[in-house]
């Protein structure tokens, strides 16, 4: 074998794997950064900033698919289902992050929006990249949480071919759960098993193959839209105010009071008093003030309105 010839294929590392990797846009070498190690620090960060401007444009091209996914997720959650993010590495960590933000921001139960990461919770801070290679692990992780037809699974994989995610989405289809893919390559293996594919194609990274960069930013933007728009459709906001947040510390209690004041036109003291009388429930305080009713009646109105503040006020 010649010195510069590629190594022979082995059962564990077929040459096809290398060819497949090179074909992915997210793995390709970016011509703009070929001399990256020769640039000044200012030139490096300027180049990264210029590349990052391509991310919103890529996301804008898939807004119809994002909107469709929101409709599907909302419908599932309205009938008692859950939103479940699945991923490995950076993609999986972004899903865990978005899931963790939902309880304090939207007062969701911790078991309503879940983030499952290949390798388990320890992989959030310690790399466990080998865990992504087994589709059966993804399948078993969703089986463990009793995935049902009421749930929506969002599979996150920048490459679009992560076996862990593919296994989870295949099982989702088997039980009738919604199967949504978020990837930065198209076409992809993930598209073949998903009902809805959201694929903002961000192209080669400044650091070739480092999908924590543009691909990660694009996935974060998509997740922001999926969770926020879904919660708006579930009645978790009034106008652009997060009226179902949990005021669990001093900062959040002050924020809740400001939200009540802004929503009702009351001064800060009146807003704080209404919030206290409503047991810290922002939505209840707003309905009580704007409808001129007691907190008890405000809660009943909200129950009848399915949690929507505007509907509760108009009753």
The CATH number of whichever domain residue 174 belongs to comes to 3.40.50.10490
| Bigger pLDDT: 22 vs 62 | 62
My answer on whether 211 and 294 are in the same domain is: no
My answer on whether 225 and 302 are in the same domain is: no
| CA pair distance 149, 297, nearest whole angstrom | 35
Average pLDDT, the chain: 90
pLDDT band at 249 (very low <50, low <70, confident <90, very high): confident
My answer on whether 160 and 280 are in the same domain is: no
| CA pair distance 200, 299, nearest whole angstrom | 42
Name the residue among 182, 185, 191 with its Cα closest to residue 204.
185
| CA pair distance 264, 253, nearest whole angstrom | 17
- pTM of the shown model: 0.88
My answer on whether 218 and 280 are in the same domain is: no
Name the residue among 188, 219, 179 with its Cα closest to residue 93.
219
pLDDT band at 129 (very low <50, low <70, confident <90, very high): low
What CATH number corresponds to the domain at position 263? 1.10.8.1080
37 in a structural domain = no
My answer on whether 199 and 292 are in the same domain is: no
| CA pair distance 215, 110, nearest whole angstrom | 27
My answer on whether 75 and 195 are in the same domain is: yes
137 in a structural domain = yes
Cβ–Cβ contacts within 10 Å for residue 207, how many? Answer: 15
130 in a structural domain = yes
My answer on whether 202 and 97 are in the same domain is: yes
Note down the domain range covering 193. Answer: 55-233
Work out how many domains the chain is built from and give that number: 2
Q: Which of 185, 207, 233 is the last residue in one of the domains? A: 233
Q: Which of 233, 260, 284 is the last residue in one of the domains? A: 233
Burial of 261 (0-12, 13-18, 19+ CB in 10 A): buried
My answer on whether 263 and 170 are in the same domain is: no
What are the catalytic residues? 101, 132
């Amino acid at each position: 074998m010649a010195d510069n010839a590629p190594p022979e294929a082995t059962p564990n590392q077929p040459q096809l794997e290398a060819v497949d990797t090179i074909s992915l846009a997210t793995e390709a070498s970016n011509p703009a950064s070929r001399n990256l190690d020769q640039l000044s620090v200012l030139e490096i960060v300027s180049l990264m900033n210029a590349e990052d401007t391509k991310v919103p444009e890529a996301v804008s091209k898939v807004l119809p698919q994002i909107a469709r996914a929101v409709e599907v997720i909302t419908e599932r959650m309205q009938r008692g289902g859950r939103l479940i993010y699945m991923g490995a590495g950076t993609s999986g960590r972004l899903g865990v992050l978005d899931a963790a933000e939902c309880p304090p921001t939207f007062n969701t139960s911790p078991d309503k929006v879940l983030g499952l990461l290949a390798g388990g919770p320890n992989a959030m801070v310690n790399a466990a990249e080998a865990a992504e290679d087994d589709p059966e692990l993804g399948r078993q992780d969703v089986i463990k949480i009793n995935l049902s037809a009421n749930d929506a699974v969002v599979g996150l994989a920048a490459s679009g071919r992560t076996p862990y995610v593919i296994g989870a989405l295949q099982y989702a289809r088997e039980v009738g759960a919604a199967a949504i893919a978020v990837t930065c390559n198209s076409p992809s293996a993930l598209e073949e098993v998903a009902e809805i594919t959201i694929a903002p194609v961000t192209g080669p990274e400044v650091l070739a193959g480092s999908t924590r960069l543009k691909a990660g930013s694009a996935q974060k933007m998509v997740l922001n839209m999926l969770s926020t728009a879904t919660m708006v459709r579930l009645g978790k906001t009034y106008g652009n105010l997060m009226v179902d947040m949990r005021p669990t510390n001093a900062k959040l209690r002050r924020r809740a009071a400001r939200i009540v004041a802004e929503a009702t036109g009351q001064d800060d003291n009146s807003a704080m008093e209404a919030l206290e009388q409503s047991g810290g429930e922002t939505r209840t305080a707003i309905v009580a003030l704007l409808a001129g009713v007691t907190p008890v009646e405000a809660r009943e109105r909200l129950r009848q309105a399915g949690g929507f503040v505007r509907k509760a006020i108009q009753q």
